[in-house]
Every structure is written in C-alpha cells, then in structure tokens.
Amino acid sequence: MAPRDEWSVGCRDLAGRRSDVTVFVSSDKIVLVAPPGEAAVLGPLDVGRLRAALRDAVVAVAEHPDHSE
C-alpha cells in the first residue's frame, strides 16, 4: 500500500455548513487548504484529527527522497 499524502479533516464554516480542511504534501512542503473564503470551525475532536494529519504529513515529508533538511 502506498503512503497516503493527503488527509481531510471535517469542519464547519461560521454559518454551520459542513466543509473540510485538507492537508497534503507537495514535494517537501506541507499544504493546508481551508474552505475557500471561509473560516474553518473545528471542535476538539476535529482539532485532534488535524493534529494527526499534520503529524502524518510531516512524517511523509521526512521520508520524501527530495527532503533536504
């Protein structure tokens, strides 16, 4: 199974509509994509999921062959 380089964390916007914050790896960088033009409102469990996604993305970057730190 190939390593996963994209994670999605559920959230809501300020109006309460469901959305997602996406974390992905691009080369040796970690990218966060929030809902376009909106704030991402995260509950405590969602913050834990975001933290886990960021941790996994850091591990993926560290294992990337082009990583130069």
pLDDT of residue 35: 83
Residue 42 inside a domain? The answer is: yes
Residue 1 inside a domain? The answer is: no
At residue 65 the predicted structure's pLDDT band, cuts being 50, 70 and 90, is low
Cα separation, 17 vs 34, in Å, equals 14
Could you tell me if 29 and 61 are in contact, meaning their C-beta atoms sit under 8 angstroms apart?
Answer: yes
What is the pTM (predicted TM-score) of this model? 0.74
Residue 50 inside a domain? The answer is: yes
The boundaries of the domain holding residue 48 are 6-64
pLDDT tens digits, one per residue of 2-24? 456 889 999 998 889 999 999 99
Residue 31 inside a domain? The answer is: yes
pLDDT tens digits, one per residue of 33-43? 988 878 889 99
User: What's the farthest any 2 CA atoms get from each other in the chain?
Assistant: 42
Domains identified in the chain, total number: 1
Residue 52 inside a domain? The answer is: yes
- Mean pLDDT value across the chain: 85
At residue 67 the predicted structure's pLDDT band, cuts being 50, 70 and 90, is low
